[in-house]
Structure 1
Amino acid sequence: MSKNEHNDLVLESMHELRYFNQQLKNFSEQLCIDLNADKVDQNKVIDMKSHQADKLRNLAISIANLSQLFTTRIDFIDVELNPNVIEQLPIQKVNVYGKFDKAKKMLHSLSRKKKVKVQIKSDVKDSRIIEAYSIIDILPYLLLDNAVKYSPERNQVDIEFVYYDDCVQIEICSEGPFVGADEIKKLSDKHYRGRNALKIDGCVGRGLGLYFVEYIAELHDIDISYKSEKYQYEIDGVPYSNFAVSLRVPLQ
Structure 2
Amino acid sequence: MFAITTLLIASNGSSDLYNGILHPSPAELRSNSRLAQYMKLATPGWQTDDLGFKLFARPLPDGGMVIFPALELLGDTRARRRFPDYKPLFTKPQIESLAQAFFQIIESQEYRARERERVLTHDLRVMSREIYQNADAARDYINDQNYIYAAKRIDTVIAAQAILKMRIDALDLEGVSSLKSDHSIAIYKKVDKVVRCLKEISLKGNRNIWLTGGSTRVVNGPNIFELAPYAILDNALKYSPENSTINVSLTDSSGTRITVTSLGPKITKSEQDLIFDVGIRGLAAKETNIPGSGFGLNLARKIISDVFRGSVHVQQSPFEQQFNGRLYFETTFTINLPSHSN
Q: Identify if the C-alpha distance between structure 1 residues 77 and 196 changes in structure 2 by more than 3 Å, giving closer, same or farther.
A: farther
Q: Identify if the C-alpha distance between structure 1 residues 31 and 232 changes in structure 2 by more than 3 Å, giving closer, same or farther.
A: closer
Residue in 1 aligned with 2:218? 129
Alignment counterpart, residue 168 of structure 1, candidates 232, 243, 256: 256
What is the CA-CA distance between 1:236 and the residue it aligns to?
A: 5.8
Q: Which moved more, 1:144-153 or 1:4-13?
A: 4-13
What is the CA-CA distance between 1:179 and the residue it aligns to?
A: 1.0
CA RMSD of aligned residues (A): 2.9
Residue in 2 aligned with 1:55? 152
Residue in 2 aligned with 1:192? 280
Q: Identify if the C-alpha distance between structure 1 residues 140 and 214 changes in structure 2 by more than 3 Å, giving closer, same or farther.
A: same
Residue-by-residue CA offset, 1:187-225 (whole Å, 9 max, x unaligned)? 101111111112214x11111111111111112111111
Residue in 2 aligned with 1:142? 231
- Secondary structure at 2:224's aligned position in 1? helix
What is the CA-CA distance between 1:128 and the residue it aligns to?
A: 2.3
Q: Is the 8 A contact 2:116 2:295 kept in 1?
A: no
Paired residue type of 1:227? Q
- Tell me, yes or no, if structure 1 residue 34 matches structure 2 residue 121: no
Alignment counterpart, residue 177 of structure 1, candidates 255, 259, 265: 265
Residue in 2 aligned with 1:209? 296
What is the CA-CA distance between 1:16 and the residue it aligns to?
A: 5.2
Q: If you compute each CA radius of gyration, which structure gives the higher value, 1 or 2?
A: 2
Structure 2 counterparts to residues 73-152 of structure 1, below 5 A: 73-76=170-173, 86-87=179-180, 90-123=181-214, 126-152=215-241
Cα distance between partner residues in 2 of 1:199 and 1:8: 19
Q: Is the 8 A contact 1:196 1:238 kept in 2?
A: no
Residue in 2 aligned with 1:159? 248
Q: Which moved more, 1:22-31 or 1:188-197?
A: 22-31
What is the CA-CA distance between 1:127 and the residue it aligns to?
A: 2.9
Give aligned pairs, total: 234
Paired residue type of 1:68? K
Residue-by-residue CA offset, 1:51-72 (whole Å, 9 max, x unaligned)? 3133133134224413532562
Q: Which moved more, 1:3-12 or 1:238-247?
A: 3-12
Structure 2 counterparts to residues 232-247 of structure 1, below 5 A: 232-235=320-323, 238-247=326-335
Structure holding more strand per residue: 2
Q: Is the 8 A contact 1:222 1:249 kept in 2?
A: yes
Cα distance between partner residues in 2 of 1:140 and 1:24: 19
What is the CA-CA distance between 1:237 and the residue it aligns to?
A: 5.7
Q: Identify if the C-alpha distance between structure 1 residues 17 and 198 changes in structure 2 by more than 3 Å, giving closer, same or farther.
A: closer
Q: Is the 8 A contact 1:178 1:229 kept in 2?
A: no
Q: Identify if the C-alpha distance between structure 1 residues 181 and 189 changes in structure 2 by more than 3 Å, giving closer, same or farther.
A: same
Cα distance between partner residues in 1 of 2:224 and 2:216: 20
What is the CA-CA distance between 1:186 and the residue it aligns to?
A: 0.8
Residue in 2 aligned with 1:41? none
Q: Is the 8 A contact 1:184 1:227 kept in 2?
A: yes
Q: Identify if the C-alpha distance between structure 1 residues 86 and 213 changes in structure 2 by more than 3 Å, giving closer, same or farther.
A: same
What is the CA-CA distance between 1:129 and the residue it aligns to?
A: 2.4
What is the CA-CA distance between 1:77 and the residue it aligns to?
A: 6.6
Cα distance between partner residues in 2 of 1:196 and 1:204: 13
Q: Identify if the C-alpha distance between structure 1 residues 31 and 78 changes in structure 2 by more than 3 Å, giving closer, same or farther.
A: closer
What is the CA-CA distance between 1:143 and the residue it aligns to?
A: 0.6
- Secondary structure at 1:32's aligned position in 2? helix
Q: Which moved more, 1:102-111 or 1:142-151?
A: 102-111
Q: Is the 8 A contact 2:134 2:154 kept in 1?
A: no
The percent identity for this pair of structures is 20
Cα distance between partner residues in 2 of 1:105 and 1:156: 14
Residue in 2 aligned with 1:42? none
Alignment counterpart, residue 22 of structure 1, candidates 117, 120, 125: 125
What is the CA-CA distance between 1:8 and the residue it aligns to?
A: 5.7
Residue in 2 aligned with 1:46? 143
Paired residue type of 2:301? E
The structure, 1 or 2, with the larger RCO (C-alpha pairs under 8 Å, 6+ apart) is: 1
Cα distance between partner residues in 1 of 2:285 and 2:112: 23
